[in-house]
A and B are shown apart, each in its own frame.
Chain A
Amino acid sequence: MAAQTLFEKIWNDHVVRAEPDGTTLLYIDRHLVHEVTSPQAFEGLAVAGRTPRRPGAALAVPDHNVPTTDRRVAIADPISAKQIQTLDDNCKTFGITMFGMNDIRQGVVHVIGPEQGFTLPGMTIVCGDSHTSTHGAFGALAFGIGTSEVEHVLATQCLVQKRPKTMEVRVDGQLSPRCSAKDVILAIIGKIGTAGGTGYVIEYTGSAIRALSMEGRMTLCNMSIEGGARAGMVAPDDTTFAYIKGRPMAPKGALWGQAVTAWRQLATDPGAKYDAVVELCAETIAPQVTWGTSPGMVTGVDGNVPDPRTMGDDKLRQATERALEYMALLPGMPIRDIKIDKVFIGSCTNSRIEDLRLAASFAKGKKVASTVHAMVVPGSGLVKQQAEQEGLDRIFKESGFEWREAGCSMCLAMNADVLQPGERCASTSNRNFEGRQGAGGRTHLVSPAMAVAAAVEGHFVDIRQWS
């Protein structure tokens, strides 16, 4: 058989039927459901008199709307409360397992899937959420879908798909100390652009990727969509298997051995061809900071805000001018001179235990600047519990960070955690779109280490040189 990529193996394993024109009915192994993109799907099922084909293949959790303050108090916003109640009602009606708001296992949908061992190598995984690409870190084919397709998967356990193209993003070498997966993915997006991956599934390869922990690989794959790719993946290896083993929904006993044997076959065969190849050198990646209103508007912390006047392309120049106006930044100013008002450490990109350990290690013994309001929002109730067992919450609180309950929080500001107009935030999340963290708010995407240093100094600093 011809040499195959990781993507091709998983795709071929999931073809239920294929038309001569390539239109494929693709089987979906697992389905994550949250409160925002599911109500209309369940309504559609009910209206058509349909039921979920495999309710046992789905897992639901409220995350986008949940408050990160005291959960014993009722949700202040009645519309948010109704949406969360609707998820609860739908899961009961249709027999889907849900981790409710007061369940310790509740959290951001893309944190809890891996945490529970729900996410496994070789699977197809979907969710009505673009950051479903996160799960590709396990060597799964995972991608975001709209609400109509949520309904489609519930009803049929399949999706109609055209096979995407494949792109290898190879990162070789060793990352600089204190540089992380977040800097790698931001540098990749800076290189390929926010539409560079459109139509592709990315496989991340190379020695720098192999060296990443599972948390790092999740951060990497999470932001594939910011490069335009619906899915990003990393071939499963011993790091992957060690992470999964013993998790509540992971295979046990003889099934575990059988599964690992199968998972070891998934890696891309030597000589397999990708439709496109992009290469980066890990040593050249500086800590990254976005300066604009699109994740591709990014540079190293040692760089400057670009000058639109030097840009030849009219459309690019206009977009840059508009971004700088929105962000209230001057052309050519050093990134390190940008002063911030808020810091958000959280989101499906950077809210796992390793992120919090790293952030706490930089926060320890330091104080958040008097001009800065900083908050830490763990990715799940279990991450929060683990962090508290390790004393990380005390470090954060002593440094002046707020310590919150789990949820999406200020990544998209659907709950009460919102930037005020004009406020500037160093954020470990994934999108710096206009108004993303609150109408008129200004977002700079950074790694957790960079966010802590910015919180302490009140402006961006180069984490490589920070004492």
Chain B
Amino acid sequence: MDAFTTLTGLVAPLDRLNVDTDQIIPKQFLKTIKRTGLREGLFYDWRRRKDGSQDPAFFLNQPRYQQASILLARDNFGCGSSREHAPWALLDQGFRCVLAPSFADIFYNNCFQNGILPVVLKGSEIQALFEGVTAREGYQLTVDLAAQQVTTPDGTTYHFEIDPFRKDCLYRGLDAIGLTLQHVGRITEYEQRRRTQAPWLFQDVR
């Protein structure tokens, strides 16, 4: 996983509530056995009009947002299915950071597994960012993970909270499985104790 330290990048606004992972990447793209190449499926249905042609009104079809690396979103972003294809598709499009007033739990967690920083800001702060990005082409933000801070072009800063463990893993790009395996002795001890207390939990599936 790529580390996330500081990101300065173009912002793309998606002004909808409750964006679910079925919209982020529809089911026909879940048949892949790879993590890569999912950009084609990102917001597939929303990018198109009923006749199948590209909808120029959809934000990701507009030239000004093509190089965006920061997605600005509304409440409950990423709700629904647990599909990790959603962050994979966002990453494939070039997004490394999503800003929203709130996220669905599983999506939020999946972002951290893939080097994407999900940032929760206040509703009023998100609203101010929406106003900024729609008013001016080339609108950029700087997201500083160490400082837990988002800085706008006029120098306004917004602080965000983040779990210290997740922050550290993302900042250093750590392999989560490798970290857990450092505690393999503890896992073995747990299993031995538990096997005595509740042996039915250790009957093999067959």
Contact = CB atoms under 8 A, between A and B. Distances in A.
B67 interface: no
Contacts of A30: 205
Instruction: Give the 6 A-B CB pairs with smallest separation, nearest first.
Output: A56-B204, A148-B113, A39-B33, A146-B84, A146-B110, A251-B200
30 contacts: A23-B165, A25-B186, A37-B83, A56-B205, A56-B206, A79-B31, A130-B80, A145-B82, A146-B82, A148-B110, A148-B113, A149-B113, A152-B177, A155-B181, A157-B191, A228-B76, A230-B106, A255-B199, A255-B200, A262-B198, A315-B17, A319-B17, A319-B18, A412-B22, A412-B27, A414-B31, A421-B50, A431-B20, A433-B22, A433-B23
A288 interface: no
Contact of A160 (B165, B191, B194): B165
A158 B187 CA distance: 8
A30 B50 CA distance: 44
B23 A249 contact: no
Interface residues of A, number: 83
Contacts of A151: 177
Contacts of B87: 146
Interface string A60-84: 0000110000000000010110110
A120 B79 contact: no
Interface-central residue, A40, A53, A118, A262, by most chain B CB under 10 Å: A40
Contact of A431 (B33, B35, B80, B106): B80
A97 interface: yes
Contact of B201 (A29, A322, A414, A440): A29
Given A130-B106, A152-B177, A160-B180, A258 B200 contact: yes
Nearest to A294: B18
Given A251-B200, A434-B23, A160 B82 contact: no
B26 to A, nearest CB: 6
B74 interface: yes
Contact of A130 (B82, B180, B186): B82
A259 B198 contact: yes
A315 B206 contact: no
A306 to B, nearest CB: 15
Contact of A17 (B26, B113, B177, B186): B186
Interface residues of B, number: 59
Given A120-B201, A128-B82, A294-B18, 11 more contacts: A82-B33, A130-B80, A145-B82, A146-B113, A148-B176, A195-B75, A195-B79, A225-B106, A315-B74, A433-B23, A439-B26
Interface-central residue, B18, B76, B186, by most chain A CB under 10 Å: B18
B30 interface: yes
A158 B180 contact: yes
B205 A58 contact: yes
A146 B106 contact: yes
Interface string B162-196: 01110000000000110111011011001100100
